[in-house]
Amino acid sequence: MRDFPRTRMRRLRAHDFSRRLVREHRLTADDLIYPVFVLEGEQQREAVPSMPGVERLSIDLLVEAAREWVDLGIPMVALFPVVPTGKKSLEAEEAYNPDGLAQRAVRALKAAYPALGVMTDVALDPFTTHGQDGIIDDSGYVMNDVTVETLVRQALSQAEAGADVVAPSDMMDGRIGAIREALEDEGCPNVQIMAYSAKYASSYYGPFRDAVGSAGNLGKANKSTYQMDPGNTDEALHEIMLDLQEGADMVMVKPGMPYLDIVRRVKEEFRVPTFAYQVSGEYAMHQAAAQNGWLDLNAVMMESLVAFKRAGADGILTYFAVDAARQLAKND
């Protein structure tokens, strides 16, 4: 007996009602984390040329803009400070200034929207004169253990400012355990850690470095002595395992679309909350193609985001968060 025409895969695709009924994965506003760039000053708003549609905002404008994000149901923002050159140093002391830009932004957002999740970046690259994520020795090598000490101070200052989630993105060894212990000791047991566990040494971060102004500091240097080699996959599982053992609540794979295989493996292996970062270069590619009339921006944006869900991600950090949430609200 022949299968065809008993089995016609197109039968369920023939109508909108059945396509909706059998759809396996869906994007909702609950899946989105919005990364934002914060500027010093008041009434400051700057476009990021390599990220069309993305603006750096001073804290007052950030708080104003966040009203819409909250209303759209976006659960959390991730803050990235644009640190003035004069505040950068070799040892990144500004990173743990209790009145630093990120710390003030946390306080302002939490005061205005107590229910909005606020996540902070734990890494030194916005604060170092050389643009590396840690403290370097004479040869330029990023030193692990002294860097971890500074990261702990940075994470504590963010938690004390009211951050709900601290997110170490530096890829030093042992930092999750050190930060977890410090949070426990300092009376912040409920501050969550989202670990950038499998962060690759990627060239897709270029526009982000423009946005936070670290590209010039970094120059031609790269981050291959601490971020992962794009050729590796088992190593990502090893990294995730260590971060979970050290006390991470959520783990992340970064970049996103070129690394969906890693997201899938991580989710299958560990079954813990797993996030992916659709990074600046991925955002820029979509925008550039759309500006040329080569791609339909809204359509590829939504398709790219559901792909993360399909791969197993519980949520996505994406510069498209607000546009996607607006689109979802329209379809409701």
State the minimum distance, in angstroms, from the CB of residue 56 to Mg ion: 29
Distance, CA of 208 to CA of 199 (rounded, Å): 14
Give CA angle at 283 (278, 285), nearest 5°.
125
State the minimum distance, in angstroms, from the CB of residue 279 to ligand FVT: 3
> Nearer to ligand FVT by C-beta: 215 or 293?
215
Residue 208 touches which of ligand FVT, Mg ion, none (CB < 5 to 8 A by kind)?
ligand FVT
Residue 239 touches which of Mg ion, ligand FVT, none (CB < 5 to 8 A by kind)?
Mg ion
CA 145 to chain centre: 24
Residue 280 touches which of ligand FVT, Mg ion, none (CB < 5 to 8 A by kind)?
ligand FVT
238-277 residues in contact with Mg ion (CB under 5 A) are 239
Helix, strand, coil: what percent of the chain each, to 5? 45, 20, 35
Instruction: Please give the positions annotated as active site.
Output: 199, 254
State the minimum distance, in angstroms, from the CB of residue 208 to ligand FVT: 3
275-314 residues in contact with Mg ion (CB under 5 A) are none
Q: Does residue 170 interact with Mg ion by CB under 5 A?
A: no
Residues at the interface with ligand FVT (CB under 6 A): 121, 123, 169, 205, 208, 279-281
Distance, CA of 117 to CA of 70 (rounded, Å): 10
Query: 19 and 12 in contact (C-beta within 8 Å)?
Result: yes
- Around 276, how many Cα atoms within 13 Å sit in the side-chain half-sphere? 27
Return the range that interacts with Mg ion (CB under 5 A); candidates 6-14, 29-37, 83-91, 235-243: 235-243
CA 237 to chain centre: 19
Distance, CA of 300 to CA of 251 (rounded, Å): 26
Residue 312 touches which of Mg ion, ligand FVT, none (CB < 5 to 8 A by kind)?
none
State the minimum distance, in angstroms, from the CB of residue 288 to ligand FVT: 15
Distance, CA of 81 to CA of 253 (rounded, Å): 22
Residue 94 touches which of ligand FVT, Mg ion, none (CB < 5 to 8 A by kind)?
none
Q: What six digits make up the tokens of 202?
A: 């990627």
Q: Which residue is nearest to Mg ion (CB)?
A: 239
> Nearer to Mg ion by C-beta: 197 or 280?
197
State the minimum distance, in angstroms, from the CB of residue 54 to ligand FVT: 10
Query: Would you say 24 is a known binding-site residue?
Result: no
Residue 279 touches which of ligand FVT, Mg ion, none (CB < 5 to 8 A by kind)?
ligand FVT
First to last CA, the chain: 45
State the minimum distance, in angstroms, from the CB of residue 51 to ligand FVT: 9
Query: At 197, phi and psi to the nearest 5?
Result: -85, -45
> Nearer to Mg ion by C-beta: 149 or 303?
149
Distance, CA of 320 to CA of 176 (rounded, Å): 28
> Nearer to ligand FVT by C-beta: 29 or 316?
316
Q: Which residues lie across from 39 on neighbouring strands?
A: 58
> Nearer to ligand FVT by C-beta: 195 or 279?
279
Q: Where are the alpha helices (DSSP H) in the chain?
A: 16-22, 59-71, 101-112, 144-161, 175-185, 206-212, 215-218, 234-246, 260-270, 280-291, 297-311, 321-331
> Nearer to Mg ion by C-beta: 162 or 177?
177
Give the interface with Mg ion as residue ranges (CB under 5 A): 239
Annotated binding-site residues for Mg(2+) read 239
Residue numbers in the known binding site are 239
